[in-house]
């Protein structure tokens, strides 16, 4: 975790079970007051890494819980997720993550 210019950076990593395979980067959402954007990109290996940049500092345990739930539903491997947040609620975060996964090629989804 690092802090700079009012933004908190958080990094998480999960061992994936379902290789996403090749896909074009996926971007959903718009960074703005109370919202966020999520980008999925292909990455080597069998992990799913998540990098969060958020204006809502001090919510690491909440992010951990939301991302744990997401990974339990979508155990992706070979994916890098970047989240730029401007104070979205956990429900909006989950919605945007699910929207991004829905854009992946069918073989990558549950």
Give tens-digit pLDDT for 4-56: 568 999 999 999 999 988 999 999 998 877 789 999 999 989 999 999 999 98
Cα 16 from Cα 7, distance rounded (Å): 28
The predicted pLDDT at position 74 comes to: 96
pLDDT band at 107, cuts 50/70/90?
low
The predicted pLDDT at position 5 comes to: 60
The predicted pLDDT at position 6 comes to: 84
Q: What is the pTM of this model?
A: 0.89
Cα 60 from Cα 73, distance rounded (Å): 20
The predicted pLDDT at position 2 comes to: 47
CA atoms within 13 A on the CB side of 104: 27
Q: Which has the higher per-residue pLDDT, 63 or 20?
A: 63
Average pLDDT over residues 52-64: 94
Kindly report the average pLDDT of the chain as a whole number. Answer: 90
């Amino acid at each position: 975790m690092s802090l700079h210019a009012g933004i908190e950076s958080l990094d998480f990593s999960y061992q994936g079970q379902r290789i996403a395979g090749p896909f074009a980067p996926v971007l959903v959402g718009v960074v703005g007051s109370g919202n966020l954007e999520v980008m999925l990109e292909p990455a080597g290996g069998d992990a799913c890494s998540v990098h969060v940049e958020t204006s809502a500092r001090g919510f690491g345990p909440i992010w951990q819980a939301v991302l744990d739930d997401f990974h339990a539903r979508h155990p992706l491997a070979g994916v890098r997720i970047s989240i730029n947040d401007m104070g979205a609620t956990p429900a909006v975060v989950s919605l945007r993550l699910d929207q991004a996964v829905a854009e992946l090629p069918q073989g990558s989804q549950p």
